[in-house]
Amino acid sequence: MQSAADTVFHSPQTGSAGLNAAPDSFQVEDLPVFRFSDGDTSIIGETQYRIETKVPKIFSGHQLQPVHSNPVPVMHRTSDWFTVILVFVVIAFTWIRVFYFKIFRQLFAAFFSNSISNQVVRDENILIQRASILMSFVFYLTASLFIYQVSEYFNWDYPFLGDGFLRFLVVSLLVAFAYSFKMVLLKGLGEVFELDRPVASYIFNIFLINNMLGLILIPVIVTIAFVVTYSTGIIIYAGVALVIIAFIYRLVRAFSIWVTLPGVSIFYLILYFCTLEIAPLLILVKLARG
């Protein structure tokens, strides 16, 4: 009896026998071929053999298409100047929190109450004015840092903005100029129409809401800058949502101040809101969308 070890394999190309003998009826096509690929062809030696199989292709037909052939590490770097400015903002906030603690609590209460806000305006406390100036400075820096991060995330490509620290400097100057021009304009309108007290209350509410917004944006800025994650866009949109909520709240507070005055035209009030409040925001959104 001839065992399996005595079998000879004949090469189709050379026809030479191997170490053992095999029946002439045995062909290479009769051998099973194991394949790892999804293709339906196999190559043995120098001869290609086609094998009809019914094996399903498990690595095709799905919706999870690869984007990169190799793992892509998350590279997120924060500039040194950004860190220095952020540390300065935290130090300024800590200074206000420690040395103006009672005034800070009073301003925080005025943020939620019109009556307390009007009382603060009537008192004209020098310490409150100093704390408001420091908090306004914090707001200018935090707002500029957040706008800078938004511009980097949406890839704003405007030549006048520049890049890096120059972009932050330009944004800071624009924010400071916009609010300074607005305050001067409001003061002038108050003098012309003899509305000093309502205008002072309105300006104080603008400072107050902006200052609280500046403090709220600090953790948002820190998270965007130093937390390495793919969900940065969610944090960006959350910060934008906070800005929109603060803006709407400021409009509500302003409307509640002006409607209490006798002889105030609702039409001119809405015209003012559209010109000096809503229009700059729409211009900013237009620039953000390119």
Lowest mean pLDDT among 62-76, 92-106, 173-187, 239-253: 62-76
What's the mean pLDDT when you consider all of the chain? 76
187-211: average pLDDT: 85
Task: Give the per-residue pLDDT at 11.
Answer: 43
Convert the chain into a string of H (helix), E (strand) and C (coil).
CCCHHHCCCCCCCCCCCCCCCCCCCCCHHHCCCCCCCCCCEEEECCEEEECCCCCCCCCCCCCCCCCCCCCCCCCCCCCHHHHHHHHHHHHHHHHHHHHCHHHHHHHHHHHHCHHHHHHHHHHCCHHHHHHHHHHHHHHHHHHHHHHHHHHHHCCCCCCCCCCCHHHHHHHHHHHHHHHHHHHHHHHHHHHHCCCHHHHHHHHHHHHHHHHHHHHHHHHHHHHHHHCCCCCHHHHHHHHHHHHHHHHHHHHHHHHHHHCCCCCCCHHHHHHHHHHHHHHHHHHHHHHHCC
Question: Using CA atoms, how far apart are residues 222 and 204, in angstroms rounded to an integer?
Answer: 28
Task: Give the per-residue pLDDT at 144.
Answer: 93
For residue 132, give the nearest of 208, 186, 243 by alpha carbon: 208
> Who wins on pLDDT, 123 or 111?
111
What pLDDT, in 10s, does the model give residues 202-245? 888 888 899 899 999 999 999 988 886 667 888 999 999 999 99
* Number of C-beta neighbours around residue 193 at 10 A: 11
pLDDT tier, 59 (very low <50, low <70, confident <90, very high otherwise): low
pLDDT tier, 39 (very low <50, low <70, confident <90, very high otherwise): very low
* Number of C-beta neighbours around residue 140 at 10 A: 20
23-30: average pLDDT: 50
Structure tokens at 25: 């009826």
87-107: average pLDDT: 88
Q: What torsion do the CA atoms of 190, 180, 178, 128 make, to the nearest 10 degrees?
A: -90
CA 74 to chain centre: 16
260-288: average pLDDT: 77
Beta bridge partners of 43: 48
Structure tokens at 84: 């220095």
Question: Using CA atoms, how far apart are residues 173 and 144, in angstroms rounded to an integer?
Answer: 9
